[in-house]
Amino acid sequence: MSKFLKILTLLVSFLVLLIIAGVLYISMGLPNVGPAPENYEVVSSPEKIARGKYLANHVMLCIDCHSQRDFSLFSAPPIPGTEAKGGERFDHSMGFPGVFISPNITPAGIGDYTDGELFRLITTGVKKDGDPIFPVMPYTSYGKMDAEDIEAVIAYIRSLEPSPSENQLSKADFPVNLIMRTMPVKAKLSKKPAIEDAIAYGKYLTTASACADCHTQFENGAYTGEPLAGGRKFMFPDGSVLSSANLTPHETGLKNWSKSQFIDRFKAYENKQNIRKLNPGEMQTIMPWAMYAGMNREDLGAIYDYLQSLEPVENTVIKFIAREKS
């Protein structure tokens, strides 16, 4: 063997070992967000449960994803009887790199979790066994919230009626199953601003609602647009494509919206007649209007104030493209 081939063989062998070592580190050493808090107990109260119910149903929308949604109705509200039992499917037909099934978050599904393990899961995306969840759940946003609000959600889901369900396990495609192990980071919790500080409080609610996750352009596994300027595309199984709206105060966004118009847009869906049956080809959205409609007017107004404080970004969005008829 020539000297060149020997050197090449050594380099290739070193590279293979380096790759193996990297895969082993990612598989066994990550995610590294620290252990779940020990001896951590959420002290429940009627007030805390009520706060958690409000957050889980109308702000953070835990119940929206952890239920099965009826896409025959506008904005796909949860199917009655499935609330918090999980089973909602996110798969390749919607552009996801795998099959991800929301789990049961009633006590029948989370009964073997300690409060500390639930707190770590919600704020870092790391499960009881140390494995990560796919960031369909916006745990990076939840990790920036006030610990008291996270505890309120835990108190609320602990208070739900245990409802057993048999849900399929999630499975990510390769190499996403490895990449997602690098995603969780330690929580950077904050204190909830005073309601009187409307812009700061609105920013807090916008983060808790994970608005930027959907309303920021996203391509090839990464955010590529300005935050909250819209343009992220969502595929429906029938081939229709939804694009999220620009929420910045530009003419192509919310510049010409008054606060009352913004609030009324949400509150309109308290009227169940506006959550109507759709005909084939009609515009559909993943925006859970029916659940956001339960947010109080003061909170919606604070979100509006925060969005209006953003730098205007020009981004004209075609909101919905129906599938082509065959």
Q: What are the pLDDT digits (tens) for 157-189?
A: 999 999 999 999 999 999 999 999 999 999 999
In this predicted structure, the answer to whether residue 255 has a pLDDT above a threshold of 90 is yes
Residue type, 219: E
pLDDT score at 28: 66
From residue 322, give the alpha-carbon distance in Å to each of 6, 49, 162, 284: 59, 41, 40, 9
**Confidence tier at 325 by pLDDT (50, 70, 90):** low
| Whole-number percent of the chain with pLDDT over 70 | 94
pLDDT score at 2: 76
Averaged confidence pLDDT in the chain: 93
In this predicted structure, the answer to whether residue 285 has a pLDDT above a threshold of 80 is yes
Region 76-95: what's the mean pLDDT? 95
In this predicted structure, the answer to whether residue 5 has a pLDDT above a threshold of 90 is no
In this predicted structure, the answer to whether residue 326 has a pLDDT above a threshold of 60 is no
Spatial CA neighbour of 318 closest among 241, 221, 222, 256:
241
Region 95-106: what's the mean pLDDT? 96
pTM score, whole prediction: 0.92
pLDDT score at 24: 64
Region 283-301: what's the mean pLDDT? 97
**275 vs 320: CA distance, rounded Å:** 18
**What residue spans of the chain are helical by DSSP H?**
3-29, 46-54, 62-65, 107-110, 115-124, 139-142, 147-159, 176-179, 198-208, 211-214, 259-267, 289-292, 297-308
**238 vs 286: CA distance, rounded Å:** 14
Strands of the sheet containing 98-101, edge to edge, are 89-90, 98-101, 171-172
| Whole-number percent of the chain with pLDDT over 90 | 83
pLDDT score at 7: 72
In this predicted structure, the answer to whether residue 118 has a pLDDT above a threshold of 80 is yes
**Confidence tier at 95 by pLDDT (50, 70, 90):** confident
The CA-CA-CA angle for residues 311, 187, 304, to 5°, reads 30
